[in-house]
Structure 1
Amino acid sequence: MTSWHGSPPSALPATPNLYHLDGLDLYGEADLAELPLPDQLHPDTATHRRIAERFAKRVLSGVGDARSA
C-alpha cells in the first residue's frame, strides 16, 4: 500500500484500521496504453481483472499492509 508522503494531515483522526491504497497502483498511466478505457472512464472486463489481481496481491495477501511497515 502507498504510505503518506510525510505526516498525515492533522485534521484526520487516528484510525488504526483505515489504510490508503493509491488507485494508480492498481491501474496507472502505463496500463492505459495496453488496456485503454473504452469510454475513457470505465474499465472493461480485462481491465477489471487486472485491477482485481493487483488489489488481491496488495491487500488480501497482506503485502504492503501498513501494520507491517
Structure 2
Amino acid sequence: MQAIKENIVTIVAVAVAIIVGLILQYVYEFPLLVTAIIGILMGMLVGFILFIIQQNRDKHNKRK
C-alpha cells in the first residue's frame, strides 16, 4: 500500500511540474523545448526531495 501512495505522490508532483511549465510558457512566451526542460528539471527536483524524505523515514523506522 505504501508503494501505491508513493507512486501517486510522484505522479501528482510530475503533473504539477508540467502545469507550472505550461504556465511559465504562456506567461513568458518560452518555446516548447524550454518548457519541457523546466518540467523535467522540476520533476527531478521533486523526485530527489521524495527520495530524501523516504530515506529519512526508513532510518527512523529502523531505529524502532
TM-score by length of 2: 0.47
| The structure with more helix, counted as a fraction of residues | 2
Higher relative contact order (Cα pairs below 8 Å, separated by 6+ residues):
1
Larger Rg: 2
